[in-house]
Structure 1
Amino acid sequence: MKKINFNVVKENANPAVNKRKLRASHFALASFLMIGSCPGLVAQAHADSFERLSSLLAATPEGGWVKASTGFFWDAWPTGADAVPGQYGWPGAIVRAWSSFAWDSSRGDLMLWGGGHANYTGNEMYVWDGATGSWGRGSLPSRTDSQGMVLGGTAPQSAHTYDNNIYLPVNDMFLTFGGAASGTGSVFRTTEDGNIRRAGPYLWDPAKADANKVGGTLDSGWNTANPAQNGDMWIDRHGQWTGTEAPGYINGTTAYRTENGKDVVYLTADSNASGFASLYRYTLGDVRNGGKDTWEQIGIARNTAGYQGAATLDTDHNLYIKTAAVTGPYTSDLTIWDLDRANANNPSANQDIGINLVNQDGSNFTIHSWYGIAYNAANDTIVLWDGNTNGSVWSANVLTDANGDIGSNTTWTVSNIDSSTSAHPNGSFATGVLGKWQYDSTLGAFIALDEFARMDNGAWDTGVWLYKPMSALNAPAVPEPETYAMFLAGLAIIGGIIRRRGVRLS
């Protein structure tokens, strides 16, 4: 076995480089310890998923798309008595209504769950298999009452999930914070103990997936005489923690990292859709062995506004980056929190930093709430996708000062990258990309979920696509903001000379 030394960080004249290398060594150590203690990691059993997806990418040019899904999403929908026509609504709302997916980075699969509010009450799980490209079902929908509450209360109500679905590789679980739950349009609720109370966040165990079982227990299935139909797949984490839970998850955003061998989720949560979200850190314990979780509020928003959107974690510079909302006096396109300043004892000490985006010609780039965002550590860029119909994306370098901090670098240049392939997602999202755009470091590519749509043959589908980013070598040259001033000044000087000399240009 190759010897790896995680403790030595070579000094560099640039403090920012040292900061990034030291942080990277710590996270590498955490990941190495996790893998070393679990030699039977799920990833080993699902190498075929990554082999298939990698082969698709190998045949795709940089800046291009390739469809990874086969068959149709509706192939996995429940049918017959399990569907109970009219009881739940239209499963397409799981994609169309303010939704997100969780990318299973261990298996190379995609987990899709949602619906919610007044759109769809079914709480079944869908799993897209990266090895075959086909859609499957991880559970049947639970039985619900007229208010959308799950009978027995041992599985979550369906919900608009915004950017709130995420995979936890250490615990090997799917996590959802929900958002706007069926019936109330608010946080999860349960009647498990006979009283209505707040519930969640919820974990779903992919090891228990069964297309012919409901996810919960306690008569949450349709065949109450057959308890074997109950899959016991969901875990309600409500109260299994220290600290204070976030107030709600409407318009929420999330990003994941393994820290000290634990699953850690960074997330934003808002009260009453004020537009000024707080930043939280949610650390999960060893769930299967009774471990407890920890909630910490580590930052606040004062300088930027934001409603629905998406977020990512810049692991090189330790930054939480989310899309913002340009409204009134708030003109920032991105909201950033420096996690080096995270302070659970004094969250107000870690305030948001606003970033303005400009196009390559210096004109203003205005973001909107439809964008998905993900960080590409291979070339230190954030990549945005709004699901438009020509398959283009936008890329921006993350700018920091000599210490690796944002400092005064609050204007970033965005490059529009047109698709290099004729094939690309249909896009045209009804409610936005949100959490349907993620990056996988193993593949070195982005995973995108297309909008739910009717195909030419009458089938209903949501395609899974891979996007192969431009490498650092082939990425377009981006003039940084300070260059514009010199460029414009140079034009003015040239113009003055031309006028004085009476030079005619043709």
Structure 2
Amino acid sequence: MPPPLLVRILVLGVLMLGAAGCSGGTTSSDDGGAGTEADAGTDAGGDAGTDAGPDVDASACATSRTRPAAPAQLVAASVSAFEVSLTWAPSTTTSVNRYRVLLGAGRVGQVEQPSFAHRPVVPGETYTYTVTALTDEGGESLPSNPVTVTIPSAPPDALSGLAPGHWYEFPNSKLRAVALSPAMHPWLGWGEGISGIMNDWSSGALDTQRDRLYITGGGHNGYYGNEVYGFDLRTGAWVRLTNPDPVSPGAECPDRALGVNCAIHTYDGLEYLPPPFDRFLALGWDGWPQTALNLDTQRWENHPELPQLGTRTGANSAYDPNTGVLWYHSGAEAVSVWNPATGAWTIRSEANQLGYYKNAVVDPRRKLYVEVGQGSTDTWSIDALGKFVPKRTRLATTGAREIEAVGNPGVDYDPVTDQIVAWSGGGDIYTLNLDTRVWTKHAALGTVVPGPANMNGTFGRFRYVPNLNVFVVVNTVDTQVFVYRLDARPARLPRRIDVTGPDTKVETNSTGKLGVTAVFQDGTSVVPTSGITFSSLDPEVATVDEDGTFRAINPGRARLQVSYTDPLTRRGLVGSRVLEVVPMTGDVVLDALKIQPSSTLKVARGGAARLKAVGSYHRGADHFTRDVTCEATWSSDGASIATVANGTVRGMSEGTTMLHAKVGTVDAQATLEVIPRATQALIPLNFQPPGPRQVTGWEVADDSAFNAARGWGWQDASGLQTRGDRRGTQDPRLASFVLTPQTGARFRLLVPDGRYHVAASVGDNNFGVGLASVEFAGAGIVYGVGTGNTAGASIVEATGGTGLVFDVVGPINWLAVMPVNGMDFNQVLAAARTW
């Protein structure tokens, strides 16, 4: 089964970072073993000389792939003021499994079926669409026939005439009327039935691209269906995005192997991630993995677990469009942040008791995470993604503070009035001016008002809809959907994204900068400084980095894309620029050639690694370098020891050989050592009380000071405590730890300069300990909060002859370090498991 789109995007991003010499790490929660996190700690393979694993593609240099047949008969099936529906005849190539929908040269969707609905669209704009067919082998067809449409203006409707201060009730909008029947899916009739999808502490999320309010939930012997419903505010009707997955009698959730979500108490844990992610995210209780629904393919994608094992009861969350991350506050634990671009969770604060009844929203202007309920309004500053955010600030609010006393009120941010808006039943709306800290009550005008709030809370089922300038709320499956207009002024919505760049053809190896302007529907425009994501649909021709600097790689046509999300309305649009790359002209001279990395190469027997050939050139007075990996002729002096092709070297038998990369008459050489696939390079340290080792094969690291002869120890040994009486039945490394004081301590490991895999586990599996972490040079290896053990991994670099010095907070269970040398860190760590 091919990996989901977001995972493909994440892997590509890691590979590109690796090619630039970058590294990173993630953190996960499990039983303390490195698990899949050692995968995150291994080098992604773009950096020459690192382990690329046994499945490295030696044909990675292929510059051409077989094109599948193009889709045909593309038509605009329908065009309205808010949507363009497209259909086409599928490609006749059997290996095609998905389609890329292009607006101009920018991708607006990727689907598996031959149809697509594009939102948002802007009245008055003219759009030209094409579709290409894709295969898993990387082939892309020529585009289909183009279809051009002009978006009409919206006709008057009930919402366009809604006056400020008034509510509107959507007729025939009760969810029960369109919900699935247990006759087809028996497990839907267990427990409470469909009413539990909202009654059982469940949230909602507003899709700002499609103007839909998504609902899912239940769980815990309430509702057993994991299907997702969406109320489309443009059509006034419910749609079902997914079908329910089967639940076995006696179980609460579908089989985890299905990779789908579970019907769970979501609390305030449903969020929509706007472009470039465009996903519906579900987080819940009891450690069930977070899942994201791809809204193009309508398939679920699993993502790394939260970096904490504490309770999620009453948790809240909110997406920050400025930094592009999700903030999450666990019920009685710390505020964490999830970066959907990397998949990494990081703990950003100390634990705070949240309780059961606070909901959250991000104020994008003041850059605050705001929680309302349980008698107060609290904020956290989220302007920077540093190690920790400041501690919670409890606001001294005045005015109509009764809304704060409500359990789980509906809360959202209004970009028109620049206020926090809250609701908790009836027709009254409350606004909070965060500058004056005054709550104001707005009594409803007219006779149409919603009923009382759901007894278990509103959570995210009250949301602002920027495209319609209304707030939407749904309470139960047996009540209608309501909307409210606070202010007559519309939100400022983006109209298009203009991308500027070279007007003429560019030569290979040249660089340049893309310019971006966001034009809004009110005629204003800005040069955005946040919410921009650059990408290339043709990275083999040209790449573009995060600040818009492109690099021409090979002759051809590159589609460079800019995705922009307005942070105030979370509406996203795509702009694009086509770059024509031509060969370099004139007298280009190759002066020198080298194989990277320049140090002695190592690869494990049976393993593989990617190398890079870099040429130094000049043309006149212009000196530059080029990656010539795919142009070079590669060879090995000892083919029985190692083979090399297209920059990919494979270790055949133990020994040393010379590798060559030759371009014309210029030959570069590098020594390669093929080493045994063994744990000899691994330094495994188990933190325990002084004395005989408690874990076979793992060295004893206790609370003693650094000893150069031994090669490790604490630089500051005062205040350390050792314990060896914890549970460790599945993993004896977790039965002991060294506890550092609250100020932390530094642990030093004496190793030569170089790059190293690092994995570590922290925590106390008997009792909660607050924050626990291992960091190197300010970068996190692992973070954990609360009970249980948490493992993480990363790649670090020792420089200056000082070895590796780790900053440790809380209890540390074990630490494993190995040079980046071509051996697979997961396999080596697994081989060290001798218990």
Aligned equivalents of 1:80, 1:99: Cα separation in 2: 21
Higher Rg of the two aligned structures: 2
Residues 295 and 82 of structure 1, relative CA distance in 2, 3 Å threshold: same
Equivalent AA in structure 1 for residue 480 of structure 2: G
Match of 2:69 in 1: none
Residue pair 1:301, 1:352 contacting (<8 A) in 2 also: no
Aligned equivalents of 1:150, 1:252: Cα separation in 2: 23
Match of 1:253 in 2: 316
Superposed CA deviations along residues 358-393 of structure 1, whole A, max 9, x for unmatched, are: 226xx8775222311111122221111012x3x101
Aligned equivalents of 2:105, 2:369: Cα separation in 1: 29
Partner SS, residue 431 of structure 2: strand
Partner SS, residue 336 of structure 2: strand
Residue pair 1:357, 1:413 contacting (<8 A) in 2 also: yes
Whether 1:466 and 2:483 are equivalent positions in the alignment is yes
Residue pair 1:104, 1:111 contacting (<8 A) in 2 also: yes
Match of 1:335 in 2: 378
Equivalent AA in structure 1 for residue 369 of structure 2: Y
Match of 2:390 in 1: 350
Residues 381 and 187 of structure 1, relative CA distance in 2, 3 Å threshold: same
Aligned equivalents of 2:337, 2:168: Cα separation in 1: 35
Residues 128 and 324 of structure 1, relative CA distance in 2, 3 Å threshold: closer
Equivalences for 1:418-429 in 2 at 5 Å? 418-429=443-454
Give 1:160 shift.
0.9
Residues 43 and 416 of structure 1, relative CA distance in 2, 3 Å threshold: farther
Residues 305 and 37 of structure 1, relative CA distance in 2, 3 Å threshold: farther
Match of 1:162 in 2: 267
Give 1:91 shift.
0.6
Residues 342 and 69 of structure 1, relative CA distance in 2, 3 Å threshold: farther
Residue pair 1:311, 1:321 contacting (<8 A) in 2 also: yes
Aligned equivalents of 1:463, 1:377: Cα separation in 2: 26
Residue pair 1:61, 1:420 contacting (<8 A) in 2 also: no
Residues 205 and 248 of structure 1, relative CA distance in 2, 3 Å threshold: farther
Residue pair 2:314, 2:354 contacting (<8 A) in 1 also: no
Match of 2:287 in 1: 187
Whether 1:369 and 2:407 are equivalent positions in the alignment is yes
Aligned equivalents of 1:50, 1:159: Cα separation in 2: 41
Residues 51 and 111 of structure 1, relative CA distance in 2, 3 Å threshold: farther
Gaps of 5+ in 2: 1-102, 110-116, 124-150, 491-835
Match of 2:108 in 1: 40
RMSD: 3.2
Match of 1:279 in 2: 335
Match of 1:322 in 2: 371
Superposed CA deviations along residues 330-370 of structure 1, whole A, max 9, x for unmatched, are: xxx111001136532xx2x610000133226xx87752223
Give 1:206 shift.
2.7
Residue pair 1:50, 1:443 contacting (<8 A) in 2 also: no
Partner SS, residue 482 of structure 2: strand
Residue pair 1:358, 1:364 contacting (<8 A) in 2 also: no
Aligned equivalents of 1:255, 1:143: Cα separation in 2: 30
Match of 1:311 in 2: 360
Residue pair 2:270, 2:460 contacting (<8 A) in 1 also: yes
Residues 70 and 206 of structure 1, relative CA distance in 2, 3 Å threshold: farther
Which one of 233, 236, 252 corresponds to residue 130 of structure 1?
Answer: 233
Equivalent AA in structure 1 for residue 287 of structure 2: V
Give 1:321 shift.
0.3
Equivalent AA in structure 1 for residue 325 of structure 2: V
Partner SS, residue 95 of structure 1: helix
Aligned equivalents of 2:252, 2:329: Cα separation in 1: 26
Gaps of 5+ in 1: 1-34, 180-185, 189-199, 210-232, 286-291, 327-332, 400-408, 453-460, 474-506
Give 1:445 shift.
2.3
Equivalences for 1:138-153 in 2 at 5 Å? 138-145=241-248, 146-151=250-255, 152-153=257-258
Give 1:111 shift.
1.5
Aligned equivalents of 1:246, 1:69: Cα separation in 2: 44
Match of 1:496 in 2: none
Match of 1:176 in 2: 282
Residue pair 1:121, 1:158 contacting (<8 A) in 2 also: yes
Whether 1:82 and 2:118 are equivalent positions in the alignment is no
Residue pair 1:50, 1:108 contacting (<8 A) in 2 also: no
Give 1:468 shift.
0.6
Match of 1:234 in 2: 300
Residue pair 1:175, 1:204 contacting (<8 A) in 2 also: yes
More relative contact order, 1 or 2 (CA 8 Å, 6+ apart): 1
Match of 2:296 in 1: 207
Match of 1:268 in 2: 329
Give 1:129 shift.
2.3
Aligned residue pair count: 350
Residues 372 and 44 of structure 1, relative CA distance in 2, 3 Å threshold: closer
Match of 1:117 in 2: 220
Give 1:46 shift.
6.3
Equivalent AA in structure 1 for residue 337 of structure 2: R
Residues 254 and 83 of structure 1, relative CA distance in 2, 3 Å threshold: same
Give 1:314 shift.
0.7
Match of 1:486 in 2: none
Aligned equivalents of 2:156, 2:370: Cα separation in 1: 28
Aligned equivalents of 2:206, 2:152: Cα separation in 1: 13
Aligned equivalents of 1:350, 1:88: Cα separation in 2: 43
Residue pair 1:314, 1:321 contacting (<8 A) in 2 also: yes
